[in-house]
Structure 1
Amino acid sequence: MLASYACLAGYSIFAGVSLGGTTVGVALLATLNFIAIMAARKNYRLRRLTQIAVQFRETISVWGAVFGALALAGFTMKVSSDFSRGGVIAFFAGGVLSILCSRLLVAGVISRAVANSWFVRREIVIIAEQGYSLSSAPLREMRQFGYRSVKTFEISTYELSGPGITSALREKLADVISTVRERQIGEIYLLFSWTNRRAIDLLLDALTVLPVSVHLVPDESTARYLRNPVVAIGSSWTAEVRRPPLTRMEQWLKRSFDVAVASVAIVLLLPIMVMTALLIKLDSRGPVFFRQTRNGFNGRPFGIFKFRTMRVLENGASIKQATRDDPRITAVGRFLRKSSIDELPQLFNVLIGDMSIVGPRPHASAHNSEYEKLIANYAFRHHVKPGITGWAQVNGLRGETRTVDLMQRRVEHDIWYINNWNIILDAKIAVRTIAVSLIHADAY
């Protein structure tokens, strides 16, 4: 946050203006609110600090929300004229950039520390089912974050065979209790299959004599689900094994990005679009624009806008994909498709809200019906709005899909994008699209 104030002070020196105590006070208020919200959203936790995409998304959204709220308050109370606009912009820009840079640095340091087990060690005792892998992923992660087992007790099937506590198990548990008391251990971890309820309950009853916490480590079959977010529902909880398309905050963030980029792009590219329209009219008979039915978010149909590149206007139950040297493509249309200029009218689809700048490319409704029968999870692509460009396109899966395998690869990339979405990824894909459009030649 010091960088924010440095930017604020630098602006006041450069502009030769006095910011006054009110501006500095409001800046301090913004800082405290930002820290409080980030702490409430658990963004300062050790594990959370290593997640760069999450930190970037949270920082931009919370910092923007705080400034938006303060700006609204200033406007409502008619005191916004008391502040230097340049100073506010300098503080806002300097703050978000400095926080993002610090997050990168902190994540790098913490990741290195975790990898080298630099954290202060916490001594624990492990009681494990015999034959159970002591190198399981949860235990490896515990070791990285400073947990050290002073002793591991293995319990065999024979020791658990009796109706109650067998003599062999009683001796082992006495050893556990003695070790915990002598070493002043505060935590015991049970490493058992979660289906072995009898053994777990038996051990929990036996360990009640110790005033320590007892933890049940997820077994391999359960851990794969618990890597997902855990949601509390009263006294119960669920693992969110499939996330919703986007949260409300993510929807707002993505929509803001779409509107901003589409608006700027339309202004900058308007001369090119006007010239393209003239070339189409001079080259062949027919309309400038081509509108075709595609399936969007949740499978809802919408009309996609494109510059006309063919002599035909196909929009029925059977549509043939364009191929190299396709006779249906006009002379101007061939250049437009290769350069992706024919896609520019879709910027208006973005403004309308049917599409996003980045997302799975929408296919013709006829193709959707065909591929949904051939490719598992194909319909998962409709969990977000379709995009002008996407993760599949910047990874070489652009243009004609001659085989089902090619479409399968495209679908896999689309699903990866949906499951790993963040605003930084959208920005990267948008930038890479420009480069890919200039050098790629797979679109016909």
Structure 2
Amino acid sequence: MTIASARPTCAADSPVEIHVLDEANPARASLVVRWWRPNIVELLALVADAIIIVASGVGCAAGYQIYARPEHDQLDVYTALSFLVALNFILLIKVQHGYALKNFTDLPQLFKKTLATWTALFSALIVITFAMKASNQVSRGTIISFYLVTPVLLLLAKAAIARFVTTALRNGGAFARRRAVAIAERGLLSSEAMAELTQHGYRITRIMELRPECLTSPALIPSIGPRLDDFVAYARENQIEQVFLLLKWDHWHAIDMIADALRILPIPVNLVSDPDVSRFLRYPVTTAGSSMIAEIRRAPISRQEQALKRAFDLIGASLGLLVFAPVMLMTAILIKCTSTGPVLFRQTRNGFNGRAFKIYKFRTMRVLEDGPIILQARRNDPRVTPVGRWLRKTSIDELPQLLNVLLGDMSLVGPRPHAAAHNSEYEQVISNYAFRQHVKPGITGWAQVNGYRGETLTVNMMKSRVDLDLWYINNWSIWLDAKIILRTVVQVTRDPVAY
């Protein structure tokens, strides 16, 4: 009885607090900025991209003609080409929501999206030009300068717009033009929720804050009735366009009662997700009939990203085979002339999702181990041939894995595949070891360019390598793959450590 009487109750004297917010906020937003609209800024960003691309294309063409003085004036051709490129670039950015106001607050992501789209568009342009046999009709100098100059100007413009947008939002919600009110549970009226509503165009002018214990009371509406009537009258008199409910979703009975009481207003009533629910709604949400499904753990790489990575692998592996074909031929001859046995060594490894495949390497040992017990190569290992020792130090023995990449068993970049026998051993002692197989194994990887190349002497060393592999999986991007490949080339030429 004592416990029950000590429980907080919804007292009739102060169940509600009304917060009146500064509507005009003249001191915090400049006269010019307050009249901006999100759609105006988005349109200006789009127009700025078009002007920059066309001006850059025409400027590069004119500059080349002044410098090279060609026989034929093709300025009109490059002008038309610039308009075509600008149109396609704008459409590609538009479908990625690159002109949405909220995306200008994430400048690194905006830069990445701009550079990736520009490079992809230009690559497609070059392919089309060659396919149409029109490459002789365009100037390489103009095209190269157009490709290099334009993204610099685009990034500068986007940086300026992002700075303007960020400053305007920080100065009191310059883009918040739609008038709204809120009914909030005490403790949920966070600055983050208010900032997000403001950033998306809502100006909250009045808030009714309710005590949590009132929300569990069957007499909720009678207890807050007079204040709710005043709240409704204010919404009518001030042309309020939206009502937001910031209540915990487990108070479903209170939500229903408040929504029912607000039916008198002919305006939308919106339920904002509470922090516990928001944590899951940040994930992609789908439906199965009437059930909502949140994908709280996605595949490490989406289908689109897999296609991009596969295209990168096919192009890179094909170029690699063309460039290193003479080296690989000479290596095969050396192996055949200096030791007995096959040129290529094949061993069972585990790839994506644990599937087994045969990895190809130039044979560097006198043995061909592929069973339940496999010893790692050690310093001064007697099993390694003299030629094999040099091949391992220079990593030339790994070049046949370009064939594995073409076959789809491996990627250029990813966690290094270990022998099946070693996988079984390490899965028993390293808890996250199997997560390495969430992507295709690679010829090189993030662990290798961070000092974990070659033999792993202890379990702790392997655990550190696995941690780096997992970081790569969780932070994958095509730019990270390119960075790892460049670092691998530098590392192999400067610091050969494998044996």
**Alpha-carbon distance, 1:19 to partner:** 1.8
* Residue-pair matches, total: 441
Q: In structure 2, how many angstroms separate the alpha carbons of the residues matched to 1:372 and 1:110?
A: 52
| Cα displacement (A) at 1:315 | 1.2
Unaligned 5+ runs, structure 2: 1-52
| AA of the residue aligned to 2:413 | V
Alignment pair present for 1:56 and 2:112: yes
Structure 2 partner of 1:391:
446
Matched residue, 1:93: 147
Whether the 8 Å contact between 1:188 and 1:214 is mirrored in structure 2 is yes
Partner of 2:61: 8
Q: Shift of the alpha carbon at 1:441?
A: 6.1
* Structure 1 position 241 matched with structure 2 position 296: yes
Rounded to whole Å, the distance in 2 between the matches of 1:160 and 1:311 is 78
Residue pair 1:117, 1:145 contacting (<8 A) in 2 also: no
Once the two structures are TM-superposed, the CA of residue 414 in structure 1 deviates from its matched residue by: 2.9
**5 Å matches for 1:19-168?**
19=74, 21-49=76-104, 50=106, 52-53=108-109, 56-57=112-113, 60-61=116-117, 64=120, 68=124, 72=128, 80=134, 83-84=137-138, 86=140, 89-90=143-144, 93-94=147-148, 97-98=151-152, 101-102=155-156, 105=159, 109=163, 113=167, 116=170, 119-120=173-174, 122=176, 124-130=180-186, 132-135=187-190, 138-139=193-194, 141-142=196-197, 149-168=204-223
Which residue of 392, 413, 420 maps to 1:358?
413
1:162-209 superposed Cα distances (whole Å, 9 cap, x missing partner): 335343322443353355456554343322222222222222222233
Q: Distance in 2 between matches of 1:238 and 1:60?
A: 31
Q: Describe how 1:292-441 pairs up with structure 2 within 5 A.
A: 292-376=347-431, 378-438=433-493, 440=495
* Contact kept in structure 2, 1:61 and 1:253, CA below 8 Å: no
Q: Out of 256, 261, 271, which is 1:216 matched to?
A: 271
CA contact (8 A) 1:312 1:328 kept: yes
C-alpha distance after superposition, 1:83-104 (max 9, x if no partner): 5263784486247634763477
Contact 1:355/1:386, CA 8 A, preserved across alignment: yes
Moved more, 109-118 or 335-344: 109-118
205-214 or 269-278: bigger deviation: 269-278
**Aligned-partner Cα distance in 1 for 2:214–2:386:** 82
List aligned pairs for 1:172-191, cutoff 5 A: 172-181=227-236, 184-191=239-246
Contact 1:124 1:186 in 2 (8 A): yes
TM-score if structure 1 supplies the norm length?
0.80
3-state SS, counterpart of residue 27 of structure 1: helix
CA RMSD of aligned residues (A): 4.0
Task: Note if contact 2:352-2:440 (Cα within 8 Å) is conserved in structure 1.
Answer: yes
Q: Distance in 1 between matches of 2:142 and 2:289?
A: 43
Residues 229, 240 of structure 1: 8 Å contact kept = yes
The Cα of 1:152 is off from its aligned counterpart by 4.0
Q: TM-score, normalised by structure 2?
A: 0.73
Stretches of structure 1 lacking an aligned partner (at least 5 in a row)? none
- Secondary structure of the structure 2 residue equivalent to 1:292: strand
Q: Rate the CA distance shift 1:162–1:60 in 2: closer, same or farther, 3 A.
A: closer
Q: Name which of structure 1's ranges 410-419 and 357-366 shifts more when overlaid on structure 2.
A: 410-419
- Match of 1:154, SS state, is strand
In the alignment, residue 183 of structure 2 is paired with which amino acid?
I
Superposition deviation, residue 38 in structure 1: 2.2
SS at match of 1:294: strand
The residue type equivalent to 1:68 in the other structure is A
Equivalent pair of 1:114/1:145 in contact (CA under 8 Å): no
The Cα of 1:120 is off from its aligned counterpart by 0.9
- Provide the secondary structure at the position in 1 that maps to 2:412: strand
Cα-to-partner distance string for 1:418-438 (whole Å, 9 max, x where unaligned): 343222121112112223334
Q: In 2, are the aligned partners of 1:57 and 1:423 still within 8 Å (CA)?
A: no
Residues 1:350 and 1:100: Cα distance change in structure 2 (over 3 Å): farther
Distance 1:314 1:114 in 2: 66
C-alpha contact 2:89 2:117 (8 A) present in aligned 1: no
* Contact 2:168 2:175 survives alignment (8 Å): no
Q: 1:83 to 1:51 in 2, by over 3 A?
A: same
Other structure's SS at 2:220 match: coil
Partner of 2:30: none
Matched-pair contact (CA < 8 Å) for 2:366–2:385 = yes
Helix, strand or coil: the match of 1:360? coil
Query: Is the contact between residue 48 and residue 54 of structure 1 (CA under 8 Å) also seen in structure 2?
Result: yes
Structure 1 position 82, deviation (Å):
9.1
Cα contact 1:7–1:94 (8 A) shared by 2: no
**Higher mean C-alpha displacement, 133-142 vs 157-166:** 133-142
CA distance in structure 1 between the partners assigned to 2:102 and 2:498 by the alignment: 43
The answer to whether the 8 Å contact 1:290/1:305 transfers is yes
Query: Which residue identity lines up with residue 60 of structure 1 in the other structure?
Result: A
